[in-house]
Amino acid sequence: MNEKTYSGFVALVGKPNVGKSTLLNNLLGVKVAPISPRPQTTRKNVRGVLTEQNRQAVFVDTPGLHRPQDALGEFINEQVREALADVNLILWLVDLRHPPTEEDRLVAEALRPLVGRVPIYLVGNKKDAAKYPEEALRAYAELLPGVEEVRSISALDERDVADLRAEILARLPEGPFFFPPDFARSDQPMEEWIAEILREEAMKRLYEEVPYAIAVKVDEVAERENGVLYIAATLYVEREAHKPIVIGRGGRKLKEIGRAARKQLEVLLGRRVFLDLRVKVYRNWRKDPEALRELGYR
């Protein structure tokens, strides 16, 4: 067993909503990161480990880089900087459905100092839904000369993902594994992963500022005698006025969120789940560094 091993950290970066988490989940073949149609779904770096024979990639899905407006925004951008600090390969994701925006320029600026030091792949995503994918990709490439590779994919297309996966694994430098070969796909604690699924289902069903005003904390996970996994969680909102919106008339909205999250969890965990949800106000938590720490953003 003295076969050479290859390993490395691979960061997925880009502005919000370009499909980073979708690509991560599909590269791994399991759902580790939350996905929603709303920008800024991801708030914390999520690591996913992929081991194939003597090659191991540790992917880091990052929140979308943007201009921060509060303490949460600062935290998010700090997460991106952290992910870029010690990395062997960068996948810069862009959305081929439209030409570059101000936020893509912001990402390009953040990546510029790394050109020539770390290989960067410019990955144009959502090509399945793009009208002028080639033109768009060319415009993105102009934002950051010197990237090592430019390609377009659909993160929803298994073949595209398989090709990219193979290429990433082949590109890893020689080095020891960071995780045991049989390591579970993510190093995220179970409670956090559950909280993210809940937040995803809440975000999908809420509008305007409310999806962004939500933080979820899992209070308890317990085995029940009948084989059911009991999960108690709190959905925190920023203002008193958000509470009835999240709960809904007759508790309908909260039930809907709970039902969808339970279904997802049952499929992903392969067992029955009982969800016990409540909604509480944590005034202006996004602006409060102390609150951020309490709610798991640290």
Ligand X SMILES: Nc1nc2c(ncn2[C@@H]2O[C@H](COP(=O)(O)OP(=O)(O)OP(=O)(O)O)[C@@H](O)[C@H]2O)c(=O)[nH]1
For ligand X, the binding residues (CB under 6 A) are 14, 16-22, 35-37, 39-42, 63-64, 125-126, 128-129, 154-156
Q: Which of ligand X, Mg ion, none does residue 22 bind to, with CB < 5 to 8 Å depending on kind?
A: ligand X
Question: Which residue has the CB atom at the shortest distance from Mg ion?
Answer: 42
- DSSP characters for 108-147? HHHHGGGTTTS-EEEEEE-GGG-SSHHHHHHHHHHHSTT-
CB closer to Mg ion out of 155 and 233? 155
What's CA 139's distance to the chain center, in Å?
A: 25
Q: How many residues does the chain have?
A: 298
CB closer to ligand X out of 91 and 229? 91
The least distance separating ligand X from the CB of residue 169, rounded to whole angstroms, comes to: 21
What is the 8-class DSSP label of residue 65? P
Q: By rule CB under 5 A, what string of x and - marks binding of each residue 35-54 to Mg ion?
A: ------xx------------
The least distance separating ligand X from the CB of residue 202, rounded to whole angstroms, comes to: 14
Q: Which of ligand X, Mg ion, none does residue 289 bind to, with CB < 5 to 8 Å depending on kind?
A: none
Most distant pair of Cα atoms in the chain: their distance: 64
Q: Does 56 bind Mg ion (CB under 5 A)?
A: no
Tokens of 42: 């991801």
Tokens of 137: 């990709």
The least distance separating ligand X from the CB of residue 2, rounded to whole angstroms, comes to: 39
Q: Which of ligand X, Mg ion, none does residue 16 bind to, with CB < 5 to 8 Å depending on kind?
A: ligand X
Backbone phi, then psi, for 20, in 5-degree steps? -65, -50
DSSP H or E segment with residue 237: strand 229-237
Applying CB under 5 A, the residues found at the interface with Mg ion are 20-21, 41-42
